[in-house]
Structure 1
Amino acid sequence: MTQANDHDTMESVVTLLSDLIAIDSSNPDLVPGSPGETEIADYVSRWLDRRGFDIHRLETRPGRPSIVAIARGTGGGRSLMLNGHLDTVALNGYEGDPLLPVVKDGNIYGRGAFDMKSGLAAMMVAAATVANDSHRGDIILALVADEEYASAGTKEVLRQFSADAAIVSEPSYLEVTIAHKGFVWFEVTVEGKASHGSRPDLGVDAIAKTGRFLVGLDRLSKQLAAGYGHPMLGNGSIHASLISGGEELSSYPARCTVSLERRTVPGETPETAEAELRTILAEVAEEDPDFSYGLRRVQSGNTFETQLDQPIVQATLNAAERVLGRSASLRGEPFWTDCALLSERGIPCLLFGVDGGGAHAPTEWASLDSLWDVTRILTETVRDFCR
């Protein structure tokens, strides 16, 4: 691109990002009454339709649309999906006006600036730029709902669309993310027997019984910290997140419930994590015949890992080196992303996005230099992979 075209493209991506920040797309599953993705889905649909993309609106759940926009190739090339989420976390608690994009000191501020409307703007401009050229493979934009809660948008997209590879443009500080942890949520319920506090002969204290399980849980936590470590992600972990039990001070509690989170690394699965807990519970039950329990797996997300020799990884690394003038770093993330869903469907993928900070925080920003770099790197990656 010429210097004039570079300037025009930079203005285009900053303008687009500003428009996206100004739209309230906070997730109603996080804060009831929030508007969700309808308005921002309408906006990106119009923007991409004007640039010749075929627009598909997926809305199994009314008011929670995802948009798939496709620039068809001439044939015989590889298809690439660029994935990004339309929703943000809540606006309340943000310092200042969360819907007013502010450019200051080389950054752009506003709710979603970092997580992840910067990625949306970069991938939309990159795809539109390459769509104007000759390309053999299809360029697919998946602009999805609900990533911040249950990833329903990407799940809905993958029921109808696929690609030869994918890039999720979540923020990654201009580093190429090729692995992340998974998670499993469990609920352990320990049963006691209610009675008046004056009748210990009739009551069984479910909270006290739960303490024996928590001792075993602490032991497991230490074992995980000292055990197998993934080269990028480190060790798996487990912690008790919530606990509830009892009715009143003068009664023996009939039930105590503990909610747990297990963070997993490649090689660990929801099934292996459940087996760990069942071992602890069985050991307590063997020692204490009055120990009665139930274990329920609530929700899980698998780990993600891709190999360096995947063509999409090499295409992204090569583009990054050309744009940045240096080799891009590789990273693993401790949190879960939609990369896991894409990988489960057999789509090689990675995560790559801007520098900045403040995700889910009172102040959120993205670096404009990194926004420009990500836009250029995505443009070159799409062009190389799809032609």
Structure 2
Amino acid sequence: MSVSEIESILSSLIGFPSVCGLPNGDIIEWIEAHLLASGARVRCIPGDTSNGVPGRYSLFATIGPKTAGGIVLSAHADVVPVTGQNWSSDPFVLTRREDRLYGRGSSDMKGFLACMLNLARKAGAEGAPPLKRPLYLAISHDEELGCLGVRSLIAGIREDDEFDDQGALGCIVGEPTGMQVALAHKGKIAFEIICHGQAAHSANPFLGKSAITLAGDMIAALSRLQEHIRQTERHDTRFGVPFSTVQAGLISGGAALNIVPDLCTITAELRLLPGYEGAPYLAWLEDAARQATEKLGGGEIELRITNAYPGLNATASSDICSLALHEAGQNQVGVIDFGTEAGLLGEQLGLDCIVCGPGSIARAHKADEYITLPELADAERFLDGVLDHLRR
């Protein structure tokens, strides 16, 4: 085992404060140099700049021959912020205490990324047995903002002559699952409910139309929609919550206590069971919005989708799932409650995808996030098996 080498790589990765939404050129340049030194053919793919934020990149790398049967390993290099969190050590310095390695992103998901980069080093080592099928490494940015960066990465992969989209065996997304093989997760639609009223002095509020009143009706409508979903969907008992969910996470409205508010915005999300579309539920809310404005006698409510990604519902009979189960030493598959890039990678690249990686999502996004040395060792054994498969 070479966990010490993985620990060294992870230490370097943690040292880059690659917070989602910010420029990530430094960490991408470091990863690119590591991959080039491993003999990989690397493509740096700029992110979408339509939101006015430049300087974000993804990477796609290939090691081995251009032929069918390759395997994609996928990770994101961004992390969530640490603002307001009470860490017991510097979150951007890997800190070892016994067998735990603390640092932002250690579980989610620079631990797996370090294992990927270590595998690339092994695959390209001088004198190592050659690969008979290609190893692909896909490294995205801004996953933590709702799988934003993987979209430009996918576009770059589809343009890359190195990638055989017809003959690839599949993709392993290394999000933290405790090395359990997961085949499914819910999709997500993030949206805003923008309530427009009419301002007036609060001395005579009847001269206005309160946007907050409209918002209150829409929050009640979200609760009714949730009950409608619970009663009408076919439950999938693989999930802890066996139906789709809807909830409001943010609300903002009003300018002053003595002004009838003319604007109030609710930010909400749908988490959709695999196989369910969000359009009927959004139409349900559009109807509720019409009822709310009619009840108030004016105003306007608009729904605006801000982000969406599909769920994952892979099959246990795929070759990549069989390989993952074998190398993980398991005979059962599971599901995960959080979203990943696997749904987009599978849908847009035509790949069979599974999710399997070291660490725990329960430690992610919190102070004192950590991954353990045994977890990294398990991931290394797993990926060594993948590499052996590509050599046969």
Question: TM-score category by the smaller chain?
Answer: 0.7 to 0.9
For the Cα contact (< 8 Å) 1:17–1:121, is it kept in 2? yes
The Cα shift of 1:122 comes to 1.2
The one-letter amino acid of 1:52's match is G
Task: Name the structure 1 match of 2:249.
Answer: 241
The one-letter amino acid of 2:343's match is A
Hey, what's the Cα distance between the residues in 2 that align with 1:287 and 1:205? Answer: 12
Cα distance per residue 1:275-332 (max 9 Å; x no partner) = 22123224445656536322222221111111111110111101111xxxxx254222
Task: Name the structure 2 match of 1:178.
Answer: 183
The Cα shift of 1:24 comes to 2.6
Given candidates 26, 50, 56, the residue that maps to 1:39 is 26
Hey, what's the Cα distance between the residues in 2 that align with 1:85 and 1:200? Answer: 51
Task: Name the structure 1 match of 2:62.
Answer: 70
For the Cα contact (< 8 Å) 2:214–2:292, is it kept in 1? no
For the Cα contact (< 8 Å) 2:185–2:339, is it kept in 1? yes
For the Cα contact (< 8 Å) 1:127–1:379, is it kept in 2? no
Hey, what's the Cα distance between the residues in 2 that align with 1:126 and 1:134? Answer: 13
Task: Name the structure 2 match of 1:265.
Answer: 273
2:111 match: secondary structure: helix
The one-letter amino acid of 2:201's match is H
Matches for 1:147-166 after TM superposition, within 5 Å: 147-161=143-157, 162=163, 163=165, 164=168, 165-166=170-171
Given candidates 327, 332, 337, the residue that maps to 1:334 is 337
The Cα shift of 1:380 comes to 0.9
The one-letter amino acid of 2:359's match is D
The Cα shift of 1:339 comes to 0.7
Hey, what's the Cα distance between the residues in 2 that align with 1:278 and 1:359? Answer: 35
Judge which range, 167-176 or 292-301, deviates more: 292-301
Task: Name the structure 2 match of 1:79.
Answer: 70
Matches for 1:37-116 after TM superposition, within 5 Å: 37-60=24-47, 62-73=54-65, 76-92=67-83, 93=85, 94-116=87-109
Task: Name the structure 1 match of 2:116.
Answer: 123
Hey, what's the Cα distance between the residues in 1 that align with 2:55 and 2:129? Answer: 35
The Cα shift of 1:140 comes to 1.0
The one-letter amino acid of 1:338's match is E
The Cα shift of 1:150 comes to 4.7
Matches for 1:196-211 after TM superposition, within 5 Å: 196-211=201-216
Asked if 1:293 is matched to 2:301, the reply is yes
Asked if 1:369 is matched to 2:369, the reply is no
Hey, what's the Cα distance between the residues in 2 that align with 1:152 and 1:207? Answer: 31
Hey, what's the Cα distance between the residues in 2 that align with 1:148 and 1:76? Answer: 33
1:39 to 1:200, Cα distance in 2 relative to 1, 3 A: closer
1:100 to 1:245, Cα distance in 2 relative to 1, 3 A: closer
Hey, what's the Cα distance between the residues in 2 that align with 1:42 and 1:382? Answer: 25
Judge which range, 368-377 or 130-139, deviates more: 130-139
1:307 to 1:37, Cα distance in 2 relative to 1, 3 A: same
1:23 to 1:138, Cα distance in 2 relative to 1, 3 A: same
Hey, what's the Cα distance between the residues in 1 that align with 2:16 and 2:298? Answer: 56
Matches for 1:343-354 after TM superposition, within 5 Å: 343-345=346-348, 346-354=350-358
The one-letter amino acid of 1:350's match is I
Cα distance per residue 1:124-182 (max 9 Å; x no partner) = 22343344323222111112222222534322221122542111111111111211111
Judge which range, 286-295 or 249-258, deviates more: 286-295
The one-letter amino acid of 2:131's match is H
For the Cα contact (< 8 Å) 1:55–1:68, is it kept in 2? yes
Judge which range, 174-183 or 119-128, deviates more: 119-128
Q: CA RMSD in A?
A: 2.3
Judge which range, 218-227 or 173-182, deviates more: 218-227
The Cα shift of 1:354 comes to 0.6
In the alignment, structure 1 segments of 5+ residues that lack a partner are: 1-5, 322-326
Asked if 1:136 is matched to 2:142, the reply is no
2:156 match: secondary structure: coil
The Cα shift of 1:363 comes to 0.5
Hey, what's the Cα distance between the residues in 2 that align with 1:98 and 1:246? Answer: 37
For the Cα contact (< 8 Å) 1:270–1:300, is it kept in 2? no
In the alignment, structure 2 segments of 5+ residues that lack a partner are: 158-162
Hey, what's the Cα distance between the residues in 2 that align with 1:70 and 1:305? Answer: 27
The Cα shift of 1:120 comes to 0.6
Hey, what's the Cα distance between the residues in 2 that align with 1:302 and 1:128? Answer: 33
1:127 to 1:230, Cα distance in 2 relative to 1, 3 A: farther
Q: Structure 1 length as normaliser, TM-score?
A: 0.87
Work out the number of aligned pairs and report it. 368
1:349 to 1:191, Cα distance in 2 relative to 1, 3 A: same
1:364 to 1:52, Cα distance in 2 relative to 1, 3 A: same
The one-letter amino acid of 1:228's match is R
Hey, what's the Cα distance between the residues in 1 that align with 2:111 and 2:341? Answer: 17
